[in-house]
Every structure is written in structure tokens, then in C-alpha cells.
Amino acid sequence: MPAASGSFVIPANEYRRERWRNQLGWTREIHRSGAGEDWDWRLSIAEIEQDADFSTFEGIDRELVLLSGNGLSLCFDDGVVELKPPHDRHRFAGERAVTGRLLDGPTHDFNLMWRRDRVEAELWHRPLVGPMVIFADPGHRWAVHLMAGHARFADDSGLPPMQQGDSAILGGSERLRHVIEGAGELLVMRLAPKSPLPDAASD
């Protein structure tokens, strides 16, 4: 359940498993910001068990991170990008046609997607050694995915501890400070509303 701040933890066993948009694979949705298909950003874990074309997403940028498995080739029309262990990643436009080809057996891949005209997104892979402090400005969100190990919130947020595979969504209408302690590896994401372009100066 969300804490009073609007921050909350999502246990891995609560992720929603569903088919890809093109029906060629499975994903476990962690969270989406927004209703229905008109979301601003979305977190999921793709379960890639065979070579398959990826779904296309107009107006969406995405970043894919290898979580487990022996690697994945992203085959674009103009070249190939290989995601190799331990945790290679690649950012690309959702409109691009791409086929995922397994290098040696199935993979699980973390998938961050965001609507490029509404959201600015950054993603980091970080070790968790000692405390990590996250400041969330009003209206901004941070997402944390615990890739390995264990973590707890050493603050007054009331959030429960996190186990491997869990995720947390942090932020709300006020500026918040979260302190994460533990041992392991994290994916940390910052998701901010995109600043509107300034109006053109009139003559």
C-alpha cells in the first residue's frame, strides 16, 4: 500500500503477467503511471524464451537492461546491439523495428518505457553498499528495482523492506527524502515531467 507520502513498494509476486502487445512473448508489468494505454511511463520485465520481434510503440522511448541469462541480440534494420552479462543495457526509440535473438537460452530483461513528449527519464545501475539517499522533487518520481540482495528504508516513510526482485516507486506532491540501506544491486530511475518548450518570441 502507498505510504502517506505517495511512495510505495511493489513485491515481485504482485507483478502482473501479460502477453506482449504483438502476442509473441510474455512480460511482467511492475507499474504504469497513467490509466489504460495512455500511460506516461511504464516498468516491466520481459520474459524472452525464443527469438521474436518486439512490439512497436509510437511516441515511446525505451531502455532495456539484461537482468538474467546469457545474453540477447537486438537486431535493428541498421545493425545489431548485443546485451551481454552481467547487465548490459540499450536505449532506443519504440517505433524502431527490432527482433530479439537469444545468444544462449532464455533471458529476463528490465524494460523502462516513457512517452517522450511528456517525460524525461534517466536510469542508473548502482551497487547498494551503505546508505543511498534519494531526493524527490514535487511532481517527480523515482523508481528503484532491487536486482539482488536486500534493502530497507532507513527513514520515517513507513515503507516495508525490499527483497530481491521487488520495486519501489518514490515521490509525490511534496519534496521527499528517502534513505535506502542494505547490500546488493539496484536499478535506479528518475522520471520527471518534460519542461514545455518556450514560446517563440513574437516580432
- Residue range 118-193, CATH number: 2.60.120.10
Fold match between domain 16-115 and domain 118-193: yes
Strand-pair category, 41-48 with 89-93: unpaired
pLDDT in the model for residue 69: 97
Domains of the chain, residue spans: 16-115, 118-193
Give tens-digit pLDDT for 17-40: 999 999 988 999 999 998 778 899
Percent of the chain with pLDDT over 70: 94
Whether this prediction's pTM lies above 0.85 is answered by yes
The answer on pLDDT for 113 being more than 70 is yes
The answer on pLDDT for 200 being more than 90 is no
Select from 139, 140, 136, 142 the least CA-distant residue to 168: 142
Say if residues 172 and 6 touch (Cβ distance below 8 Å): yes
3 state DSSP class of 36:
coil
Per-residue pLDDT averaged across 92-101, rounded?
96
Name the CATH architecture for the domain at 16-115: Sandwich (2.60)
Q: What is the DSSP string of 112-146?
A: EEEETTTEEEEEEEEEEES-EEEEE-TT-EEEEEE
Beta strands (DSSP E) in 16-97 are 16-19, 26-33, 41-48, 52-53, 60-68, 72-76, 79-83, 89-93
pLDDT in the model for residue 94: 96
